[in-house]
């Protein structure tokens, strides 16, 4: 019998192979996700940027809030961030539970030379990569709609991907603790993701909220991501603030990666 | 033990307060088909998962392919194949993609994986379904694909956890035939099963497990010879006519009483049947058969394998 030529791939290569698996899946099944990743932000853009924006046009206080640009231009980078956060949450709930429980694909991966940590990071990497791609499409659409003010929108896209990474890492950690679908995910979407979407400065600045609510928005990764994306797209950098937002998001990524790798290991190799 | 693929000494596994495996010694030699036979919950799968390097041991010694699963898990897993109890194929990929993607996890180049997939599709008799999605395949086809996938890295050791549970008899026989082919090709296999016919068909050597310990070890024939008689006379009685086991005991070597029948262990079933009739007992039905591993298990534990 011939000796096996198979080997355990190095850490990064293993992560890459997990990503390749998801990419193969995506090339076959991308149509089913296009609604949530591209169509939904487009609807938001149309409803708020164009429809709601027309209502605000020329109203007192609008220009003051947006710093002189149209509401659409002001909103567009925030929509990049919000759709990044939403698709990160979506991709890290049911698909993760399926990997553990329904299709059990994660179990197949770790039966081979892949480690649970590589599975977790492969998932995170894939979600971010996909977000980068759909975000780029979205940037193109925004540009066509007249919502792009400067080339800084490219940096805004990266800020959105960082937001995606933070939300993905945290939600994946949570999903790794979920044994049965039950209400775990619908509660997450109702009580965490939806309020986060509404109160992270996407549609209006958070300083318009009552004073006691504002500290809550500071813990929201989406608020930090939105501030970063907007600063980049509108070229309104405040260096110290940008540094703080970036550091906070990176910290969340680190916490999520630490939690997810530990919980994946506990669940896949008990 | 230079040629031993698996060597376990006092292997022990605890989940919280539950002792799943309570100190077992196992040696699996290259080329043999080794079985863990036992009822559900006996600790077979837990032992298997430790050997598969996806479950750290709580105690004892374990070497797989000469390495320590605690330290070299990924390196060992790169050289073994695993057929899990529950299918974990990617149902939304095609049959072929399942093989190719899985091969990539083992650091195999694309061209190699493509060629290997072609070969394995033929082995699993799935060539015609190669580009269909996995989802609508029958249970037997999915199992065959899972086995094919476990071979994508040309493993030196193949681990099969309850490989035919839930399959219809025809699918089982086809699967057994494939496993037998692998055996002839020299692939070492470890199988867990609670089907005694499966163990008899496939295993060169097996251990019988119960409550986390090994209660017997040997080839199927050895175990039957050691723990059962050559033949068994199975008697069914109407409830009011059923004699106490002690009444029949002097006629044969041993009597086991099951809820629905009496099992009389003897070298000569026909003669025992005649003697039962001569003693005035009138069973509703009588069947003489060869002893099986089921009888071994019954004799060792007083219980049947599948309730």
Residue B258's CB: how many other CB atoms inside 10 A? 12
Return the residue matching tokens 């209660």: B215
Return the residue matching tokens 């390196």: B75
Mean pLDDT, chain A, integer: 92
Q: What does the alpha-carbon distance between residue A30 and residue B154 come to, in Å, rounded to a whole number?
A: 33
Which residues in chain A have their CB less than 8 angstroms from residue B73's CB? 115
Shortest distance, CA A2 to any CA of chain B (angstroms) = 8
Chain B contact for A183, CB < 8 A? no
Task: Give the CA angle between residues B246, B249, B255 to the nearest 5°.
Answer: 95
**Interchain proximity A7–B78, CB inside 8 Å:** yes
Q: HSE-up of A63 (CA within 13 Å, CB side)? A: 5
The answer, yes or no, to whether residue A2 has pLDDT greater than 50, is: no
Domain ranges of chain B: 4-221, 229-291
Closest CA to B203 of B160, B150, B148, B155: B160
Which residues in chain A have their CB less than 8 angstroms from residue B15's CB? 270
**Interchain proximity A112–B94, CB inside 8 Å:** no
Q: Give the pLDDT of residue A4.
A: 59
Pick the CATH number of B4-221 from 2.30.60.10, 3.40.720.10, 3.40.50.300, 1.10.10.10: 3.40.50.300
Q: What does the alpha-carbon distance between residue B152 and residue B102 come to, in Å, rounded to a whole number?
A: 7
CA dihedral A117, A122, A127, A132 (to 10 degrees): 130
Contact B153, B169 (CB under 8 A): no
> How many beta-carbon pairs under 8 angstroms link A with B?
111
Which of B79, B93, B108 lies at the smallest CB-CB distance from A24? B93
Residue of B89, B105, B157 to mutate, interface with A, max A Cβ within 10 Å: B105
Could you tell me how many residues make up chain B?
307
**Interchain proximity B88–A110, CB inside 8 Å:** no
The CATH homologous superfamily of the domain defined by B229-291: YebC, transcriptional regulation domain (3.30.70.980)
Which of A29, A108, A112 lies at the smallest CB-CB distance from B92? A29
pLDDT digits (tens, 9 = 90+) for A196-236: 999 999 999 888 888 888 888 999 999 999 999 999 999 99
**Interchain proximity B73–A115, CB inside 8 Å:** yes
Q: Give the pLDDT of residue B197.
A: 86
Share of chain A above pLDDT 90, in %: 71
Q: Give the pLDDT of residue B1.
A: 44
Which residues in chain B have their CB less than 8 angstroms from residue A116's CB? none
What ipTM was reported for this prediction?
0.88
**Tens of pLDDT, residue by residue, chain B (307 residues):** 446 899 999 999 999 999 999 999 999 999 999 999 988 889 999 999 999 999 999 999 999 999 999 999 999 999 999 999 989 999 999 999 999 999 999 999 999 999 999 999 999 999 999 999 999 999 999 999 999 999 999 999 999 999 988 888 888 898 899 899 999 999 999 999 888 888 988 999 999 999 999 999 999 999 999 999 999 999 999 988 899 999 999 999 999 999 889 999 999 999 999 999 999 999 999 999 999 888 998 888 887 776 5
Q: What does the alpha-carbon distance between residue A140 and residue B260 come to, in Å, rounded to a whole number?
A: 75
> Global pTM?
0.91
Q: Give the pLDDT of residue A56.
A: 85
What is the domain extent for residue A54?
3-268
Q: Give the pLDDT of residue A1.
A: 41
Q: Give the pLDDT of residue B266.
A: 94
> For residue B52, what is the nearest residue in chain A, using CA coordinates?
A111
**Interchain proximity B90–A105, CB inside 8 Å:** yes
Q: Give the pLDDT of residue A186.
A: 93
Q: Residue A147 corresponds to which tokens in the numbers above?
A: 């919502």
Domains of chain A: total: 1
pLDDT digits (tens, 9 = 90+) for B151-181: 999 999 999 999 988 888 888 898 899 899 9
Residue B67's CB: how many other CB atoms inside 10 A? 15
Q: Are B4-221 and B229-291 the same fold in CATH? A: no
**Interchain proximity A109–B105, CB inside 8 Å:** yes
**Interchain proximity A21–B101, CB inside 8 Å:** yes
Please, what's the b/e burial string for B10-42 (b: 16 or more CB within 10 A of its CB; e: otherwise)? Answer: ebbbeeeeebbbbbbebebeeebbbbbbbbeeb
Residue of B15, B69, B86, B101 to mutate, interface with A, max A Cβ within 10 Å: B101
Residue of A2, A104, A109, A111 to mutate, interface with B, max B Cβ within 10 Å: A111
Q: What does the alpha-carbon distance between residue A8 and residue B298 come to, in Å, rounded to a whole number?
A: 43
**Interchain proximity A269–B186, CB inside 8 Å:** no
Q: What does the alpha-carbon distance between residue A133 and residue A136 come to, in Å, rounded to a whole number?
A: 5
pLDDT digits (tens, 9 = 90+) for A72-114: 999 999 999 999 999 999 999 999 999 999 999 999 999 999 9
Chain B contact for A270, CB < 8 A? yes
Residue B161's CB: how many other CB atoms inside 10 A? 20
Which residues in chain A have their CB less than 8 angstroms from residue B88's CB? 103-105, 107-108, 111
Which residues in chain B have their CB less than 8 angstroms from residue A112's CB? 77-78, 82, 102, 105-106, 153
> Which residue would you say has higher pLDDT here, B72 or A39?
B72
> Which residue would you say has higher pLDDT here, A31 or B23?
B23
pLDDT digits (tens, 9 = 90+) for A160-204: 999 999 999 999 999 999 998 889 999 999 999 999 999 999 999
* Beta-carbon contacts of residue A42 (< 8 Å; ≥ 6 apart): A138, A141
Q: What does the alpha-carbon distance between residue B277 and residue B292 come to, in Å, rounded to a whole number?
A: 25
Q: Give the pLDDT of residue B195.
A: 86
Which residues in chain B have their CB less than 8 angstroms from residue A16's CB? none
Which of B55, B73, B88 lies at the smallest CB-CB distance from A108? B88
> For residue A32, what is the nearest residue in chain B, using CA coordinates?
B92
Chain B contact for A51, CB < 8 A? no
**Interchain proximity B187–A113, CB inside 8 Å:** no
> For residue A102, what is the nearest residue in chain B, using CA coordinates?
B88
Q: Give the pLDDT of residue B167.
A: 84
> For residue B100, what is the nearest residue in chain A, using CA coordinates?
A21
């Amino acid at each position: 019998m011939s000796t096996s030529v198979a080997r355990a791939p190095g850490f990064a290569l293993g992560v890459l192979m997990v990503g390749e698996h998801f990419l193969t899946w995506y090339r076959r099944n991308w149509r089913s996700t296009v609604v949530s990743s591209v169509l939904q932000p487009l609807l938001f853009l149309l409803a708020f940027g164009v429809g709601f924006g027309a209502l605000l046009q020329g109203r007192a206080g609008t220009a003051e809030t947006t710093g002189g640009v149209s509401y659409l231009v002001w909103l567009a980078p925030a929509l990049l961030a919000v759709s990044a956060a939403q698709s990160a949450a979506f991709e890290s709930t049911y698909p993760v539970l399926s990997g553990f429980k329904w299709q059990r694909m994660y179990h197949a991966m770790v039966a081979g030379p892949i480690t649970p940590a590589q599975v977790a990071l492969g998932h995170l990497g894939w979600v971010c990569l996909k977000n980068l791609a759909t975000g780029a499409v979205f940037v193109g659409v925004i540009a066509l709609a007249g919502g792009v003010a400067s080339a800084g929108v490219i940096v805004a896209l990266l800020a959105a991907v960082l937001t995606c990474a933070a939300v993905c890492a945290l939600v994946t950690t949570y999903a790794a603790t979920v044994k049965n679908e039950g209400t775990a995910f619908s509660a997450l979407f109702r009580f965490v993701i939806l309020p986060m979407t509404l109160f992270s400065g996407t549609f209006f600045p958070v300083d318009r909220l009552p004073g006691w609510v504002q500290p809550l928005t500071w813990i929201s990764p989406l608020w930090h991501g939105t501030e970063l994306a907007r600063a980049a797209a509108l070229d309104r950098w405040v260096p110290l603030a940008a540094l703080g937002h970036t550091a906070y998001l990176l910290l969340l990524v680190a916490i999520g990666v630490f939690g997810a790798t530990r919980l994946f290991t506990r669940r896949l190799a008990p | 033990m230079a040629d031993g693929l698996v060597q376990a000494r006092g292997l022990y596994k605890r989940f919280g307060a539950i002792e799943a495996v309570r100190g077992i010694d196992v040696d699996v030699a290259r080329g043999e088909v080794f079985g863990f036979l036992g009822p559900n919950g006996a600790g077979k799968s837990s032992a298997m998962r430790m050997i598969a390097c996806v479950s750290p041991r709580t105690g004892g010694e374990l070497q797989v392919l000469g390495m320590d699963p605690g330290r070299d898990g990924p390196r060992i897993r790169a050289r073994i194949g695993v057929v899990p109890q529950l299918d974990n194929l990617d149902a939304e990929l095609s049959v072929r993609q399942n093989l190719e993607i899985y091969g990539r996890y083992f650091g195999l180049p694309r061209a190699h994986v493509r060629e290997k997939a072609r070969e394995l599709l033929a082995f699993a008799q799935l060539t015609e379904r190669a580009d269909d999605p996995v989802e609508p395949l029958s249970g037997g086809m999915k199992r065959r694909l899972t086995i094919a996938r476990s071979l994508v890295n040309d493993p030196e050791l193949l681990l099969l956890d309850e490989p035919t549970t839930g399959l219809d008899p025809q699918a089982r026989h086809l699967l057994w035939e494939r496993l037998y082919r692998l055996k002839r090709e020299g692939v070492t296999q470890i199988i867990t099963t609670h089907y005694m016919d499966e163990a008899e068909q496939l295993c060169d050597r097996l251990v019988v497990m119960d409550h986390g310990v090994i209660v017997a070890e040997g080839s199927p024939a050895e175990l039957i010879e050691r723990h059962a008689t050559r033949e068994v006379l199975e008697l069914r009685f109407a409830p009011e006519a059923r004699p106490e086991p002690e009444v029949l005991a002097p006629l044969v070597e041993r009597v086991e009483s099951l809820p629905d029948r009496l099992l009389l262990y003897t070298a000569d079933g026909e003669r025992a049947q005649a003697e039962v009739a001569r003693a005035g007992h009138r069973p509703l039905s009588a069947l003489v058969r060869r002893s099986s591993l089921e009888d071994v298990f019954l004799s060792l534990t007083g219980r049947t394998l599948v309730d």
